[in-house]
Amino acid sequence: MLAFLRARAIPGVEVVARDGYTRTIEVAGEVAGAHGTVAVRPATGNALRATIQFPQLSALPTIVARLRRVFDLIADPEVIGAHLSEDPRLAPLVAARPGLRVAGAWDGFELAVRALLGQQITVAGAATLAGRLVAAYGKPLAGGVEGLSHVFPGPERLADADLSSLGLTRARAAALGSLARAVVADPQIFGPRRSLEEAIVKLRALPGIGEWTAQYIAMREMREPDAFPAADLGLMRAMADRKGRRPSPGALLARAERWRPWRAYAAQHLWASQGMSYDRGEAPGDDRSPLRPLHPARLAAGGVRTDGDREARDAGARRATGRGGARPGRAGRRPVAARGRPR
C-alpha cells in the first residue's frame, strides 16, 4: 500500500515515509479556506493510528471516513484472497502478498486530474506535473509541515486557469479545464452509482476520460471492487505467457471473468507482481481520450520521461539479449484509531 502511494505522491501535498503517510487536506462544506494535515502510522495490532490537524471538529467524521477509504479498511482480505486463489495464475501472487488492498483516493477531482496528467507518461512524470500544478494553483499551507506546502487546488481554481504554462499541450490543458468546469457544475459527479456500468458511462462523459481512466477512477475513488482497466499495459505484461506474449485487452477481460466480483484486487496483485511503479505504459487504442502524448521536448526540460522512452529502452534490451519478453482557527491534534488489517 505505502509503495503504491509513494510512487504516486504529489510533491507538496503528500509525503510517504517508510512507515507512514502524511498529506494536506481540505474538506468541502466546512469553513471556507480551512485546511490541515493528516498523518497515518501503523498502530498496535491490526490497526492504523491517524493524527489529524484540522480547525473544525465537525469535520472529524468525514476525515476518518476518507482515511478508511484511502486505506481500503472496509475490505475483507481473507474472502477476497480465497476467491482469487481459485485461479492458479493468481494463487501464488495472493500467497506472496496476503491481505493486499486497493489504495483509495482522498478526493475524486484530485484523482481525476492526476489520471489525466498520467495519460501516456510514467507515474513519476505525472507526479512531477501534478507538483507543478499544485505549486502554481494550490492554496499555501498555513503552519507548514516538512515536505507539505500546499493543498491540492479545487475545481473552481482550475476551471478558468491558463494551464499551458505548466508544460502541457493545449489539448491536455483544455481537457483539464473542461473537467474542472464539469465538477464545479456537478460536485457529486464522482459519487457512488447504482452499478459499475453506470459509473463508467457517467465518467466517460467527462472531457478527456476514456475507458482506462474511467475504470481507474471507479477503482480508487468510487471504491468499485470489480473495476478493471483491461487495456492497461502493466496488466497485459503481468499476464504474458512464458514466451512473453501478452494477451489482448479483450482476451484479458475474458480471463478476468473468473475474478469477479474482485477484479480490482486482481489488478492490484498483478501490478504488484511486476513491481510496477506506473499504471499505464501507453495509451490503449480503445481509450476515448482526445489527448495526444506530451511532446518529449516539453517534458525533458522538467525531467519528465515519456513511456515511449521506456518502451524504446525495453526494446533495445530485448535486441541486445535476444529475449522476446519485457521485464515484467486552532488546529488540534486528535489521534484516531481506524480499525482494519492494513498491509
Quick one: CA torsion of 31, 222, 277, 319, rounded to 10 degrees?
A: -140
Is 19 an active-site residue? no
Catalytic site residue from 72, 107, 226, 232: 232
Give the integer Cα–Cα distance in Å for 305 and 146. Answer: 27
Yes or no: say if 63 and 52 are a contact pair by the CB < 8 Å rule. yes
> What are all long-range contacts of 206-209, with beta carbons under 8 Å and residues at least 24 apart?
206/112, 206/179, 206/182, 207/174, 207/175, 207/178, 207/179, 207/182, 208/116, 208/119, 208/172, 208/175, 208/176, 208/178, 208/179, 208/289, 208/290, 208/291, 209/112, 209/115, 209/116, 209/179, 209/288, 209/289
Q: Which residues pair with 282 in a beta bridge?
A: none
Yes or no: say if 270 and 238 are a contact pair by the CB < 8 Å rule. yes
Name residues whose C-beta falls within 8 Å of residue 300's C-beta, 6 or more positions apart in sequence: none
Name the strand (E) or helix (H) holding 172. helix 170-185
Give the integer Cα–Cα distance in Å for 245 and 84. Answer: 23
Give the integer Cα–Cα distance in Å for 20 and 325. Answer: 35
The total of other beta-carbon atoms located within 10 Å of residue 78's CB is 11
Nearest residue to 220 (alpha-carbon basis) of 3, 66, 22, 36 = 66
Name the strand (E) or helix (H) holding 269. helix 263-273
The separation between CA 189 and the C-alpha centre of its own chain, rounded to angstroms, equals 17
Provide the grid cell at 40.
497515518
The owner of cell 498520467 is 118
List residues with catalytic annotation. Answer: 232
